[in-house]
Amino acid sequence: MSEHIIHFIYLASAACFILSLKWLSAVPTARRGIVVGVLGMLLAVGGTLLSPTIEHYHFIAAAFVIGTIIGVPMALMPMTAVPQRTALSHAFGALAATLVGAAEYSLRVPNLDRFTMGALTLEVILGALTVTASLMAAGKLQEVLPTRPMVFRNQNYVNLSVLGVALLLGVLLVVNPGLWPLFPIMVLLCLVFGVLLIMPIGGADMPTVIALLNSYAGLSASMMGFVLDNKLLIIAGALDGSSGLILSIIMCKAMNRSFTNVLFGAFGQLQMTAAAVEQKSYRSASPEEAADLLRTADSVLIVPGYGMAVAQAQHKVRELFDILTRQGTNVHFAIHPVAGRMPGHMNVLLAEADIPYDKLLEMEDANPEFPQADVALVIGANDVTNPGARHDKSSPIYGMPILDVDKARTVMVIKRSMNPGFAGIDNELYYLEKTLMLFGDAKGFVSELVKSLNET
């Protein structure tokens, strides 16, 4: 097939990727963005398969089968597992880039010019560290690995030393690609660095980490485009890398954190002292008492968090929303940008339960509504509702923008226990006079609320 036709297909594919990113940035157009993104990938794969340089189609067919066997079960994972599924996707994408880089090096060494070797080195370094870092992130999110930060003495110095040696080996390979024994050592060091990178990072920072790993995987793919002389890979990787970086910046801003603080500081160092919190008094309520308050409320703001995701309570929350709406209550959902374990986690879960888009308020729109709300119902959210972020300079979340839940007339918090959240600190909200603690599993407690409201 003519190279011009293939280039035209690639151009159409690149346009689809750009439009997909644009439409994915807004909830009402997100579905369209997904469809166009899938179309762009189909065009990219189809255009590549039409290339006259491809000969061994049986290997490609085998790869398709293996990818399908792995990909279909991942697609069928529950919505609550989207964060760890995303991390696994990053791992597979980075693994592909790393393997392609290793194959290109072994086939073309020592006939590699310095520019190509430089791009290949960056591709493999970024790809290899992203593989193990993403697997570590997925393990923490799935709680197969401890979610708390794992630290040891002089950890940052060790991490930077490992990365520094890997980069030095990369420079030596660029200068002299024929030094082939250095290549596997460089890859191994990057794999080790990926593990070390995620070890000290706690669960509270996972939204930023996932976005950052997405950026690394995209940049690795872009470098692969330079190695293979594939313009579409360069464009797609650059889009992926830049969007991931921008999202990381947004997440850091939402948590009032910096990249260096996330990667080298982390909340985790304070989590170890969380057990020594001062005993304070709080008020609790039964499902029936909570239902009575909701029954008389004119305005209710629901604040979802990771507790709702873990309990898979989003459909029960939809039932509660329907009942309150039918009785004439004005109900909205207040969404914090880092609620849950990945950007947009709460939006995805509520969309799965068919909560109307116009009922979802982002933080800047929700906060002015709290003073007028009769009831703020917090379902499993913790650090993003902590008033201490405003005034406690000793707190690790000081300065982090929060939802102004404490300004509602009455606050009700559904939570399993009084244990702290991922930041490892006590939440001042729970001890306010206006706050009622509703202890129990989110799905079970909301079910009891629905039952009580239906009985009247």
What is the DSSP annotation of 326-349? HTT-EEEEEE-TTSSSSTTHHHHH
pLDDT of 203:
65
Could you confirm whether 383 is annotated as catalytic?
yes
Asked whether residue 32 is assigned to any structural domain, the reply reads no
Distance (Å, whole) CA 53 – CA 252 = 44
pLDDT of 217:
93
Whole-structure pTM value: 0.80
Give the residue from 238, 270, 302 where a domain finishes.
270
- Claim to verify: residue 94 and residue 197 sit in the same structural domain: yes
- Claim to verify: residue 420 and residue 290 sit in the same structural domain: yes
Q: Which two tokens stand for residue 200?
A: 């000290």
- Claim to verify: residue 265 and residue 409 sit in the same structural domain: no
Residue 297 bridge partners (DSSP): none
- Claim to verify: residue 225 and residue 292 sit in the same structural domain: no
pLDDT of 326:
94
Give the residue from 251, 270, 289 where a domain finishes.
270
CB environment 166-200: b (16+ within 10 A), e (fewer): bbebbeebbeebeeeebbeebbebbbbbbbbbbbb
- Claim to verify: residue 282 and residue 430 sit in the same structural domain: yes
Asked whether residue 403 is assigned to any structural domain, the reply reads yes
pLDDT of 274:
43
C-alpha closest to that of 305 among 349, 369, 364: 349
pLDDT of 276:
45
Distance (Å, whole) CA 125 – CA 127 = 5
Asked whether residue 16 is assigned to any structural domain, the reply reads no
The bridge status of strand 330-335 relative to strand 360-362 is parallel
- Claim to verify: residue 247 and residue 292 sit in the same structural domain: no
Asked whether residue 256 is assigned to any structural domain, the reply reads yes
- Claim to verify: residue 252 and residue 113 sit in the same structural domain: yes
pLDDT of 368:
96
- Claim to verify: residue 294 and residue 259 sit in the same structural domain: no
- Claim to verify: residue 310 and residue 248 sit in the same structural domain: no
Which stretches in the chain have pLDDT values below 70? 1, 80, 203-204, 255-259, 261-279, 422-424, 456
Strand order in the sheet with 410-415: 360-362, 330-335, 299-304, 375-379, 410-415, 435-439
Domains held by the chain: number: 2
SS3 content of the chain, % helix, strand, coil (to 5): 65, 5, 25
Helix axis angle for 182-198 and 114-141, nearest 10°, is 30
pLDDT of 268:
41
Distance (Å, whole) CA 105 – CA 174 = 12
Contacts of 247 (CB under 8 A, 6+ apart): 211, 214, 215, 343
Asked whether residue 113 is assigned to any structural domain, the reply reads yes
- Claim to verify: residue 93 and residue 163 sit in the same structural domain: yes
pLDDT of 151:
81
Give the residue from 231, 254, 270 where a domain finishes.
270
**Given 383, 404, 406, 426, the catalytic residue:** 383
Residue 158 belongs to what domain range?
77-270
Asked whether residue 212 is assigned to any structural domain, the reply reads yes
Which string of DSSP letters, residue by residue, matches 13-69? Answer: HHHHHHHHHHHHTSGGGHHHHHHHHHHHHHHHHHHHHT-TT---HHHHHHHHHHHHH
